[in-house]
Structures are given as structure tokens and as C-alpha cells.
Amino acid sequence: MERQEIVDEIIEVLRTVRTVDPSRLENVTEETDFLTDMNMPSTELINIAAKVEQKFDVEFEDDDIDSLGSTVKDVVDLIIKAKARGVS
């Protein structure tokens, strides 16, 4: 899966989060910051991580969540890492 495809899927996940203003989903890139660009409370990142796990059928390690940054790129990287870890 290409990085842009992952970003597009993350945007779809964000559409289901009630604290996300839909107008802020225009022009989302990997550099978009959930906290500053989307004005999202930091506690919402855990909710998004859980929704992303379901959407991409992956499981994040606790350490991954603890060190998760606040940009879309950070989530994309985490998804790729989790998918790679799932390959045996």
C-alpha cells in the first residue's frame, strides 16, 4: 500500500471522529499536525489510533503508542511498521 493511500484511509477514519472539523480535512498531507492544524485535543489521538488499528487490521505496541508523534506522517509510519511486524 502506497503512503498516499494510507493517508487517504486515515482521512476516512478522521471523518468518523466527532471532534474533527470536516473543513480541516481538506488538503491533509503527511505534514498535517493533529493538534495544531486540526485543533484536536491530545487525548483524541488514542481514539484515532484505535480506529486506525481496526481500519488497517493492525495492532500497535504500547511503546509505539507512547512515542507516537502528532503528525499524519507519524501515524503512516506506525501503520507501516505494524504491518511489517505482522509479516512472518
Q: Measured in whole angstroms, how far is the alpha carbon of residue 24 from the centre of its chain?
A: 15
Give pLDDT tens digits for 38-82: 999 989 999 999 999 999 999 999 998 889 999 999 999 999 999
Instruction: Record the pTM.
Output: 0.92
Mind listing the pLDDT tens digit for each residue in 6-42? 999 999 999 999 889 999 999 999 999 999 999 999 8
Burial class of 58 by CB neighbour count within 10 A (0 to 12, 13 to 18, 19+):
middle
Structural domains of the chain in order of their starting residue, each with its CATH number = 3-86 (1.10.1200.10)
pLDDT band with cut points at 50, 70 and 90 for residue 87: low
